[in-house]
Structure 1
Amino acid sequence: MTTQTVADTRRLSPLLLVNLATLLSATGNGITVVALPWLVLQQTGRATDAAVVAGAATLPLLLSSLFSGTVVDRFGRRRTSLVSDCLSAVSVALIPVCAASVGLSVPVIAVLAALGAAFDPAGISARESMLPAATRAAGWRLDRVNSLYEANYNVAYLIGPGVGGVLIATVGAVNTLWVTAACFAGSIATIAFLRLDGAGVPDRATRPTSMWSGTLEGLTFVWRDRLLRTLALVDMVIVALYMPVESVLFPVHFTDLGQPAQLGWVLMAMSVGGVVGALAYGSLAARVRRRTLMLIAVSVLGACMVGMAFLPPLWVTLTLAVAVGLVYGPVGPIANHAMQTHSPEHMRGRVVGVMTSTAYAAGPLGYLLAGPLIDAVGLQTTFFVLAVPVGVIAAVCFALPALRDLDRP
């Protein structure tokens, strides 16, 4: 191996380490998504208890994601990633420990699930904030790195639930959580080897003085930047309208049909499309404007949701699901690029945290809307109620001048 080859490998190592840590951590979370509800149903057999645990794992994300960026900018990116994964690993490992010692109950599982969820956003924000420095070390284009990062993240959530299902069938739900803890441990070990500019403890002069003031500074910065403000608001509305489709409407539809396996196929089709779309963005960004890709994504999403609202045959639904993933795969890398290029180095964690928190806040709002609507007007009407506004938002996006900033230096 030549000296030049060794140098090139070293320049790529930060990027490889950040992506490997993200893959391991997100895969662990993907396994947990399957293992925790299964564990609760094994314990009590009541769907209500599973919903309680799911809610406990979701609600902390609203606040923790908002403050996570301040943690990153105050204590450092590498340290935050290490501590976040360590606390997540401990909270997950405590579940099988309790099962083997004092026994498990729904409140205990809910509390530990909430703790694990509360620690995750800080680690996610920390690793994402390291991407620009890793990009410079690798000598790659930022669009290419964001494309790889988002595809990597999607792959983790594609394989995590599948691995979780296999493990539950072979070793049981409780022992499966040891594998989740091992994934977090692998992420810790990976980041421990990372050496990257800007990943250490921030300079005292630039780091936030307190959690509250730092978070307020992040909120103010995002609101005053017209591109970030626009992306946050558009993302909030779309997430609120679309997330219930995956998490409420499709489960209700396929349960009514008595075809739970088909639900898995549709969700997998979306995930596969998302991976391909995110990877494609790396090459598309050099040829197509980011604003154009964003407008295509929102427009096709609205059209596909209207098509799904007719509750067509399975092959049509699968085609629409793949299309949604393909066109929306580039949106994550585009949003990452906007956050990275519109935020100063010392505030990047806070900007990422604030932008992420808007999506976490929107999801529960959509669930609260969808459930009562299905009971009141039926599944198909609810589908149209959610789908048509997405088409309206797409039309509005064409007129938003702020989105032109996506392609400005």
Structure 2
Amino acid sequence: MFKGAVLRYLLSDALSLIGNSIAGVVLPLVLLARTGDVLAAGSLALICAVPQFVCGVVGGAVLDRVNRRTVSVVADLISAASCALLPVVDEVWGLSFGWFVVLGLLGAVGDVPGMSARDALLPSVCERERADLQRFVGASQSLGALVNIVGPAVAALLIGFMDDVDALWITAAFSCGAALVTLTLPRSVGEVSLSNDATAACNGDMTRDAASVPAGVDAAPAAPKKAGMLAAAKSVLVDGLSALFATDSLLRASTLLSFGITMVMGSLQGIVLPAYFTQLGRPEAVGYVVSAMGAGLLVGSTAYTALAHVMSRRRWLVVSLLGMAASVCVLGQFPALPVLLAAAAVLGLFAGPASALLGFFAFDRVPDDRRGSAMGTLNALYLVVAPAGAFVGSVLISAAQIGGAGLVLTGAWVVVTALALIAKPLRHLDGEAKASLAD
């Protein structure tokens, strides 16, 4: 089905994701073990959120000016360094809250631009190999789901056989592997291309500038093409927000829905479940729950990839949202582990089609010359929303204990689902690819 650069892209993506999935299980447990304070863990996530946002926006500025393959490689290497330093610091000085902040900031420099670079590369790789974008997104989601089965399960096993922080060496190794595989992609897929309109605008500006110079007078040196990074970052943020929210009602609604889901899941997976299982004395169970969710996501994503055209997009979305809501209602009660694992698997099953569908609209409806800005801004916002959810979860646990936090998060998920079902832009999804601008 796929070949060449597409397969290498998917392998690189898988290596990066599996390292991140291991770290996603291990880091909250290490943080809770070292600080012993749920609120401190939630606060750390929020403290790092602002620098992550800034790095995401600046990364977006870089992505519309620098080869995206290069950005992806450098970002993976920085991420590897940030993970490898955690066990080193723990061995030499001992990890403290301050060290988590410092190394978390270093990780943000690599993680957010790296995610954006990989997202921006996807459509270019797909176009080069003449692969169907919707199927490619579905396949990418399926691979991500497979990784989310393997990674957390590996993390759970590693925690059982070695000191928790030493598992981060594995994350660093996977990030390095991702960088090496990305280097095998053709450099051309990372080059930034201007749309015809943008090229025409540039040509028009050049023509006007040339016409304004009197005969016999030497033209002044051209202004530097690259503005200052802060000015560029501001421009990227404005352009990215405009691409995501201002001109396309469907893209705006789907992005807001994704944010709502991410915030609740960031709270559940990032702080509430780790705190729950740490309290039970079974921290490794977090990995098994996340793996169960990944198994369901794999089945759901694969089913959507194969059967995307069997049902309408609206029907896929409605079925997915209702199934996810029912699963979260069970998860929020913190039942016995077998029931909790089953609920997590069902949640992943219904999340697969929704994730692939929402991802398709994000890739399909943003023009290439704005893709770096849009993806940089989008990923920066995601990495603020998820930590904000983790912080809210830590506050809820401190105020109402873990059971109360579960009930509040369940209610929040039901509200998000209800709003998505009645949202006008999400009612008529078929035939909407690049269609309903400025509704």
Question: Per the shorter chain, which TM-score range?
Answer: 0.7 to 0.9
Q: In 2 relative to 1, CA 175–313 (structure 1 residues): closer, same or farther, beyond 3 Å?
A: closer
Q: Which residue of 1 aligns with 2:377?
A: 354
Letter in 2 for 1:129: A
CA contact (8 A) 1:148 1:278 kept: yes
Find the residue that maps to 1:354 and give its secondary structure. Answer: helix
Q: Distance in 2 between matches of 1:90 and 1:83?
A: 11
Q: Distance in 2 between matches of 1:397 and 1:52?
A: 29
TM-score normalised per structure 2? 0.78
Find the residue that maps to 2:65 and give its secondary structure. Answer: helix
With CA pairs under 8 Å and 6+ residues apart, which has the higher RCO, 1 or 2? 2
Q: In 2 relative to 1, CA 61–329 (structure 1 residues): closer, same or farther, beyond 3 Å?
A: farther
Q: Is residue 2:160 matched to residue 1:160?
A: no
Post-superposition offset of 1:242: 3.6
Which structure 2 residues correspond to residues 162-311 of structure 1 after superposition, within 5 A? 162-167=153-158, 172=163, 176-195=167-186, 197-202=188-193, 209=227, 210-224=232-246, 225-255=248-278, 259-260=282-283, 262-311=285-334
Letter in 2 for 1:335: L
Q: Which residue of 2 aligns with 1:111?
A: 102
Post-superposition offset of 1:282: 0.5
Bigger shift: residues 55-64 or 296-305: 55-64
More helix by share: 1
Match of 1:120 among 111, 114, 126: 111
Letter in 2 for 1:222: L
Post-superposition offset of 1:226: 0.9
Aligned-residue Cα RMSD (Å) equals 3.3
Bigger shift: residues 123-132 or 309-318: 309-318
Deviations 1:177-201 (A, max 9, x none): 4443332222122111111654125
- Percent of aligned pairs with the same amino acid: 28
Corresponding residue pairs, total? 398
Deviations 1:337-383 (A, max 9, x none): 11222111111122222233333222233334333334444544443
Q: In 2 relative to 1, CA 31–255 (structure 1 residues): closer, same or farther, beyond 3 Å?
A: closer
Q: In 2 relative to 1, CA 95–158 (structure 1 residues): closer, same or farther, beyond 3 Å?
A: same
Q: Distance in 2 between matches of 1:51 and 1:387?
A: 19
Q: Is residue 2:388 matched to residue 1:365?
A: yes
Rg larger for: 2
CA contact (8 A) 2:258 2:358 kept: no
Letter in 1 for 2:74: V
Match of 2:368 among 322, 345, 352: 345
Specify every segment of 5 or more residues in structure 1 that has no aligned partner in the other structure, as ranges. Answer: 1-7
Q: Is residue 2:52 matched to residue 1:61?
A: yes
Match of 1:21 among 12, 17, 40: 12
Post-superposition offset of 1:35: 5.0
Bigger shift: residues 252-261 or 78-87: 252-261
CA contact (8 A) 1:219 1:354 kept: yes
TM-score normalised per structure 1? 0.83
Post-superposition offset of 1:146: 0.8
